[in-house]
Amino acid sequence: MHDDMDIADDVTGLAELILDGGLSDGFRTKATLAAKTVGTDDIDDLQHLFHHPPPEPETYDVARHGLGGWLSACQFAAFELLYNIGEPALPFLRQIAWGPYDWTQGNAIEIMIRLAARGVATGAIVDDVKRNFPDIRYEAQLYALEPLLPLLDTDDGLARVVEELKRCAAFAEIYTELTENR
């Protein structure tokens, strides 16, 4: 649907919003709009951007955003576009989530959980997470759950899915670790 430059432009614009305001409602709204022209034929281009982000914009400041801040923001932006592709992106998301370790593994799991909360393959995703979550690296577990925490108070579907996932001991442990001082 897009050519490579359009996808890179979308990711750049969304990543800049993340750098400016985090994973805000404004970011999610813009990602939903940008995703209207993104489809499964764009997944390879999005995957390429996971490790080869567009050039850093002038607004990127290593001192303010951290050494890996631009790459991380681009990854979150690309995964938000995948979230908006929805169910057709699930085979790809599962491949990233349960495949060999990569720092994007947590992003894929986070998006799958949000999709489950939206009613997309809820039972299958919950079963996948319960079965596989104990076997992934600790860092990926943290990275999967941490971005969901601010959404729990306002997203009843997500809260229900997370409650179900807490029946998995490994998931419950990470949840407790991240929320005990919250």
Could you tell me which residues come within 8 angstroms of residue 154 by beta carbon, excluding any fewer than 6 positions away? none
Could you tell me which residues come within 8 angstroms of residue 9 by beta carbon, excluding any fewer than 6 positions away? 54
CA angle 64, 69, 74 (to 5 degrees): 135
**pTM for this entry:** 0.91
User: Which two structure tokens, joined as six digits, stand for 43?
Assistant: 């997944």
Q: Domain coordinates of the chain in residue numbers?
A: 1-85, 88-182
Identity of the amino acid at 115: L
User: Which two structure tokens, joined as six digits, stand for 40?
Assistant: 């499964």
pLDDT tens string, the chain, 182 residues long: the values are 555 458 999 999 999 988 888 787 888 889 888 888 898 999 999 999 999 999 887 888 777 776 788 899 999 999 999 999 999 999 999 999 999 998 899 999 999 999 999 999 999 999 999 999 999 999 999 999 999 999 999 999 999 999 999 999 999 999 999 999 76
Could you tell me which residues come within 8 angstroms of residue 96 by beta carbon, excluding any fewer than 6 positions away? 102, 104, 105, 107, 108
